[in-house]
Amino acid sequence: MRIQLGSRFDLFLTQPTPMIALLNVHYSRSSDMEYPDHIVTTPAVPLTAYRDGFGNWCTRLVAPAGIFTIGTQTIIHDSGVPDVAAPLDGQIPVELLPEEAIPFLLGSRYCDTDILSDEAWRLFQNTAPGGARVQAICDFVHTHIRFDYLQARATRSASEAYREGVGVCRDYTHLAIAFCRCMNIPARYCTGYLGDFGMPPPYAPGDFAAYMEVYLDGAWWVFDPRNNMARIGRVLIARGRDAADVPMLHSFGQNRLDGFEVITEEAA
């Protein structure tokens, strides 16, 4: 299937402001795109790019004062097959994990494992290790948190999401990641596109999606505690320890978001 992808941010800035944008499709899907998803700004400004420590493609710029728009678009080819199911077992002892998986066992800005460790073991110590335990965590988080877009909060940690029982997809993901790490299972935060392919209407307005990848049996596997089911047309943008590593726009100064659009739909 061919998927039309795109995003647009309409900003107002009171002064020239440096920014870092993580809006491009992840390099692992670059061969699937019909054309590059170059970042376009209005007014046009110089852009420079680099890869961060997680391999994500980051774009640096200075947005001018006033009205400023930034976005990207492309068409990507997708198999149309739902997420591949993870193995039910496959948990690797900590001492045998590869070094690149270790950072995703540790606490981070939003995944406060030190606060949640005792509760994680109370809830999940009797589940079977591996994929079955991860699924049990996703099942719990999926029902424990009530989705409410109006109660989104950029500062909410995993422990706060657990205590408050409300949030958006990033909160589901942070809590599930924290629980996995508490149970010695490496888990990393992912952000990307996820349309409503294969789902019944009505459809919510487009938005980016947060989910996680968990290291089992020598590979990384997708789990989605917000939707808690295999989905079609998931397109990765960036990975990190949590949302602090992969903001769509990181602004080094104040700005006002006046408009926001995400497009994920099947192309003609």
Mean pLDDT over 171-200 rounds to: 97
Residue 131, SS3 per DSSP: helix
Mean pLDDT over 158-181 rounds to: 98
pLDDT at 255: 94
Mean pLDDT over 177-181 rounds to: 98
Element spanning 136, H or E: helix 131-144
158 pLDDT higher than 90: yes
pLDDT at 151: 92
Confidence of residue 83 (pLDDT cuts 50, 70, 90): very high
Greatest alpha-carbon pair distance for the chain in Å reads 57
The model's pLDDT over 208-245, given as tens digits with 9 standing for 90+, comes to 999 999 999 999 999 999 999 999 999 999 999 999 99
Distance CA 174, CA 78 (A): 27
Mean pLDDT over 163-186 rounds to: 98
187-194/234-240 β-pairing: antiparallel
**Nearest C-alpha neighbor of 63 from the set 87, 42, 83:** 42
Q: What is the pTM of this model?
A: 0.96
Tokens of 126: 């009797």
pLDDT at 76: 98
Mean pLDDT over 101-111 rounds to: 98
Domains of the chain in start order, with CATH, are 2-78+248-266 (2.60.40.2250), 94-232 (3.10.620.30)
Distance CA 244, CA 65 (A): 25
Q: How many C-beta atoms surround the C-beta of residue 239 within 10 A?
A: 22
The model's pLDDT over 31-79, given as tens digits with 9 standing for 90+, comes to 999 999 999 999 999 999 999 999 999 999 999 999 999 999 999 999 9
Q: How many C-beta atoms surround the C-beta of residue 119 within 10 A?
A: 14
- Poorest-confidence range of 10-14, 102-106, 147-151? 147-151
Task: Count H helices and E strands in the chain, helices first.
Answer: 4, 14
SS3 letters across 146-212: EECHHHCCCCCCHHHHHHHCEECHHHHHHHHHHHHHHCCCCEEEEEEEECCCCCCCCCCCCCEEEEE
Contact in structure between 1 and 77 (CB atoms under 8 Å):
yes
Tokens of 77: 């080819």
202 pLDDT higher than 90: no
Mean pLDDT over 111-115 rounds to: 98
- Cα(first)–Cα(last) distance of the chain, in Å? 10
Residue 111 is classified by DSSP as -
Mean pLDDT over 248-253 rounds to: 96
Residue 236, SS3 per DSSP: strand
pLDDT at 201: 87
